[in-house]
Amino acid sequence: MKPSPRVRPPRRAVHGVLLLDKPLGLSSNDALQRVKRLYRAEKAGHTGTLDPLATGLLPLCFGAATKFSQVSLDADKRYLATLRLGQTTSTGDAEGQLLQQREVAVGRADLDAALLRFTGAIDQVPPMHSALKLDGRALYEYARQGVEVERAPRRVTVHRLEVVDWQAPTLVLDVGCSKGTYIRTLAQDLGEQLGCGAHLSALRRTASGALRVEDASSLDALEAMSEAERDALLQPADALLAGWPRVQLPDDEAGRFLTGLRRRVSLADAAAVRVYGPREAFLGSAHIKAGELIADRLLSPAEVAGCTDSLK
């Protein structure tokens, strides 16, 4: 007698943002899929890839919140980066083959001077072992075939580069940077500046915009919770827009705004605002130009209702 097929619980509409502390060894997508199954969510996405060898903050968006995931993707990031000086690898991190080993004769004055060199606006050449596309293929696909292609430098900004711990040959840095900054490349370039080479031996994302890893939950903890306990961890969809100017619309204006109609407002121009209707219902994002409120990303009426109900 054949065993009965396993019946999967039905998926449901879930709206909100979960802050996950991604564990070591899982890709961002693997972590997303495991959490999505736990929530039985119909729709979910993450807001910025972390390599399997990296841990830390990975904001996951469900339902209506996925419409605003780009905000988190574009946000500044903060990392705790551990560098192994004196060793360069084929990938720029601990996963690659050791290419060269050099003596580490670096004093604190040398280190401080080098860190200053990499603070502010800098140019980076993207690593071959990255997901950046060239002719429709990720760079890491070329790298796996032993092919190195020319990459144009990209301008990024390092806002913060401070020593947390320095016990040669290990250096731990607190890094605050713009989107698109490759910490692996930063480690390699810093090592060459110091004359000894380096690779990234560990990486932990500690912040993305206003979101902090201290508020994140581990995968093990989520798996041990009931569904109600997991739901209680969800932040509202507009958590990704924290800090944006707020516009409150009266009942009659809120419905018109959701249809995409422009509204006249007595407010100064703004590149990005978050818009609310009755019962503190989040309606979407917009911008203000010449006294007009112009919608950018709107929630559907069903999503508005779902988000509002989740806050009760």
Q: Which residues are catalytic?
A: 51
Q: Which tokens hold the place of 60?
A: 């996951």
Segment 286-295 long-range contacts (CB within 8 Å, at least 24 positions apart): 286/247, 286/257, 288/247, 291/264, 291/265, 291/266, 291/267, 292/262, 292/263, 292/264, 292/265, 293/247, 293/257, 293/262, 293/263, 293/264, 293/265, 293/267, 294/262, 295/257, 295/260, 295/262
* Torsion angle (degrees, nearest 10) of CA 273, 279, 282, 286: -30
Q: Are 85 and 190 in contact (CB under 8 A)?
A: no
Contacts of residue 199, defined as CB under 8 A and 6 or more positions apart, other chains included, come to 83, 84, 87, 88, 89, 91, 92, 93, 94, 96, 184, 187, 188, 191
